[in-house]
Amino acid sequence: MCGIVGYIGPRQASDVLLSGLARLEYRGYDSAGVAIIDAGELTTTRRVGKLVNLQNALGTSPVAGNVGIGHTRWATHGKPSEENAHPHRDCTERIAIVHNGIIENYVELREELRATGHMIRSETDTEMVAHLIESYYEGDLKVAVAKSLKRLEGAYALGVVHLDHPDVIVAARKDSPLIIGAGDGENIVASDIPAVLEFTREVVVLHDGEIAVVTADSVDVFDLALRPVVPEMLHVEWDLDAAEKGGFEDFMLKEIFEQPKALRETLRGRMNDGEIQLSELAMTAEEIAGIARVFVIACGTSLHAGFVAKSLIEQWARIPVEVLCSSEFRYNDPIVDDETLVVAITQSGETADTLAGVREARLRGAKVIAITNVVGSRVTRESDGVIYTHAGPEIGVAATKTFTAQIAALNVLGLKLAQAKGTLGSERVQSIFDELSTLPDVVEAILGSLEELQECAELFADATSSLFLGRGVGVPVAMEGALKLKEISYIHAEAYPAGEMKHGPIALITDQVPVVVVATQGHTYEKVVSNIQEVRARGAQVIAVATSGDDDIRNHAEFVLHIPQTSEALSAIPATVPLQLLSYYVAKRRGCNVDQPRNLAKSVTVE
Ligand code: G6P
């Protein structure tokens, strides 16, 4: 997943491109580059590694000009190198393009282009697009781009400039995100909204199969047959502050601390007079009553929210729930029919595996509800209904506030299903919702109370491996805690149901393997304590997440992270917060870049 940006207007393009790329760096940071047009010249500057290398290069050799495109890369085809960095150019070096996505038929196109005399310089799929545009160009850039797009298989968001047309950027998208920030006398093309917020909050949402011709004063949108299309406009409510660090050292820490707000916003307006308000479900009570099974599909952190949902929906609505990572769902011939509700959870709304799963589910007749944080994202167009988490932009690559917001939204969904199915009465639904509504305050209290965390992080100073254990809803919490640690501190972390640990992973236990245990009050609490004893008997040092007032747990663990008492069903959100912070402090102590961990990208738009 790469980030692309384009600028046209009165400012120095390099400044706007660099500021936009800085806000898109979460999408990849293997290399970065810009191409800028000025006084009859198209100058390309590219550097391997993080954006700072490009910033330094442009600091030393500034490039003037008011129109340009930029790119930050997460390598798919071809190693991270200057040659493979975007923008890519055609043979004449008059055309430059930036691309996010994968051109699946690039090998075939490369043969064809080579056979017709084109000089291919990089190992990328993207470069083929520049040469295709060159070969179709007869004076009209938009026409050449449209003809080229018809030759492409795969996914793309593209920005194209041509020296013959110094007053235009052509942009296009299919299966990769792209928006255009519509400013006053200036326009900014970008993969994501934070890149344009410094300049405007008015956004044109480009849809699949659309081409935009962008000048400083206009954005004209066309379909692939070049028929004009009325552009979809969006007013963005967040301001730039919301997309910046706001005094925190890292985006991740800021986002962890934004959880109370994210939860409040996500729960706002969801209960009225004992009735859960979820019109986005777009299903009648009768249709809900007809749901025979639920499938949850998601990837990464969102998948863990799915596991929490399973326990809630099964417990409250008594509907069997299967949870599968999207990449497995799609190819596993899932048993899905018109009595199946598929819940697709994706923070970005752009994850290729989840989108493919959504399509598969709908082909099989299922109704698909998406849970996403990004308004206008691809999943919102492909699903029957959308429940938004209102967590605000999440910039840190490791998901935090969107995870807990997803769980909040899934709680609401679970209650709605239970209410429609009649498995929970209105009073019970109201009382669960009332407790749910206290969680923002509960999380706030946790965030203000975990002094022991930094000390606790010391346990991981020399660790290369760790175990995360839990039971019931504590299992997905442990999975998420382990994922966070892996992602940002690069310490191996394995999550296991605590009761299953003795059937294998216990062999890993030594005094060098810290064990984190979700040991909050619940019907399996005593069993969890026994599991703690099992690992301690083998030398492990234990960090326990436990309920306030449980002082006995101190006899069983080196460190205790206390969280306020909640009902067991609602404990996933508060129990997750200390684990997010633990992984944060461990990673910081080890000098890791928590916002941009190696090899990862915020949204993965390839399969
Ligand atoms: C990437 C990110 C993960 C994220 C996953 C799913 O792998 O690195 O942090 O959980 O994608 O993303 P989604 O946007 O679909 O929730």
Here the CATH number for the domain that contains residue 383 is: 3.40.50.10490
The Å distance, Cα 103 to ligand 1 centre, comes to: 22
**Per-residue pLDDT at 454:** 85
The Å distance, Cα 171 to ligand 1 centre, comes to: 25
Which of 74, 76, 301, 605, when mutated, tests ligand 1's pocket best, judged by the most ligand atoms within 8 Å of its CB?
A: 301
In 3D space, the residue among 114, 123, 134 whose CA is nearest the CA of residue 82 turns out to be 123
433 & 453 share domain: no
State the residue for tokens 């996010």.
Answer: 100
Q: 270 Cβ partners below 8 Å, 6+ apart? A: 276, 277, 278, 412, 433
Residue 287 lies inside a defined structural domain of this protein: yes
Looking from the CA of residue 483, the nearest atom of ligand 1 is 9
The Å distance, Cα 394 to ligand 1 centre, comes to: 11
464 & 355 share domain: no
452 & 351 share domain: no
Which of 2, 255, 302, when mutated, tests ligand 1's pocket best, judged by the most ligand atoms within 8 Å of its CB?
A: 302
Asked if the bond preceding 80 is cis, omega within 30° of 0, the reply is no
DSSP calls for 242-301? GGS-TT-SSHHHHHHHTHHHHHHHHHTT-EETTEE--GGG---HHHHHT--EEEEEE-HH
538 & 489 share domain: yes
In 3D space, the residue among 390, 384, 396 whose CA is nearest the CA of residue 372 turns out to be 390
The Å distance, Cα 354 to ligand 1 centre, comes to: 10
Could you report how far apart the first and last alpha carbons of the chain are, in Å? 11
**Per-residue pLDDT at 326:** 96
467 & 552 share domain: yes
Looking from the CA of residue 600, the nearest atom of ligand 1 is 8
Mean pLDDT in each 10-residue stretch from start to end of the chain (607 residues)? 93 98 86 96 96 96 98 86 96 97 92 97 96 98 98 94 98 93 97 93 95 98 97 85 78 96 93 90 87 97 98 96 96 93 96 96 96 87 93 91 98 96 94 97 94 88 94 97 97 96 90 96 93 93 96 93 95 98 96 92 80
Residue 601 lies inside a defined structural domain of this protein: no
Closest residue to atom 3 of ligand 1, CA basis: 300
**Per-residue pLDDT at 375:** 75
Grouping H, G, I as helix, E, B as strand and the rest as coil, residue 171 is: strand
Residue 404 lies inside a defined structural domain of this protein: yes
374 & 489 share domain: no
The Å distance, Cα 583 to ligand 1 centre, comes to: 17
383 Cβ inside 6 Å of ligand 1:
no
**Per-residue pLDDT at 273:** 86
Domain total of the chain: 3
Q: What amino acid positions are annotated as catalytic residues?
A: 2, 602
417 & 496 share domain: no
Residue 263 lies inside a defined structural domain of this protein: yes
Tell me if 55 sits within 8 A of 29, measured CB to CB: no
Residue 341 lies inside a defined structural domain of this protein: yes
DSSP calls for 457-489? HGGGTT-SEEEEEE-TTHHHHHHHHHHHHHHHH
133 & 71 share domain: yes
191 Cβ inside 6 Å of ligand 1:
no
**Per-residue pLDDT at 319:** 97
Q: Cα(69)–Cα(96) distance, rounded to whole angstroms?
A: 8
Indicate the angle between helix axes 439-447 and 259-267, nearest 10 degrees. Answer: 180
Residue 442 lies inside a defined structural domain of this protein: no
Which of 343, 348, 372, 594, when mutated, tests ligand 1's pocket best, judged by the most ligand atoms within 8 Å of its CB?
A: 348
432 & 452 share domain: no
The Å distance, Cα 300 to ligand 1 centre, comes to: 5
Residue 538 burial by Cβ neighbours in a 10 Å radius (0-12, 13-18, 19+): middle
Q: Cα(298)–Cα(261) distance, rounded to whole angstroms?
A: 24
Which residue, 401, 416, 437, sits at the end of a domain?
437
What is the CATH classification number for the domain harbouring 190?
3.60.20.10
DSSP calls for 392-434? ----SSS--HHHHHHHHHHHHHHHHHHHHHTSS-HHHHHHHHH
Q: How many CB atoms lie within 10 A of CB 319?
A: 18
Q: How many CB atoms lie within 10 A of CB 595?
A: 21
**Per-residue pLDDT at 76:** 76
126 Cβ inside 6 Å of ligand 1:
no
pTM over 0.85: no
Q: 449 Cβ partners below 8 Å, 6+ apart? A: 562
**Per-residue pLDDT at 434:** 97
In 3D space, the residue among 121, 183, 189 whose CA is nearest the CA of residue 158 turns out to be 189
Q: Cα(250)–Cα(252) distance, rounded to whole angstroms?
A: 5
Residue 218 lies inside a defined structural domain of this protein: yes
399 Cβ inside 6 Å of ligand 1:
yes
559 & 410 share domain: no
Q: Cα(269)–Cα(278) distance, rounded to whole angstroms?
A: 9
347 Cβ inside 6 Å of ligand 1:
yes
> What's the distance, CA 581 to chain centroid?
19
600 Cβ inside 6 Å of ligand 1:
yes
The Å distance, Cα 379 to ligand 1 centre, comes to: 14
Residue 321 lies inside a defined structural domain of this protein: yes
Taking the CA atoms of 244, 250, 252 and 256 in sequence, report the sign of the dihedral they define: negative
SS3 letters across 488-542? HHCCEEEEEEHHHHHHCHHHHCCCCCCEEEEECCCCCHHHHHHHHHHHHCCCCCE
In 3D space, the residue among 420, 386, 416, 429 whose CA is nearest the CA of residue 285 turns out to be 420
290 & 409 share domain: yes
8 & 155 share domain: yes
Closest residue to atom 15 of ligand 1, CA basis: 346
Query: Token pair of 15, please?
Result: 């400044």
**What is the domain range of residue 133?**
3-243
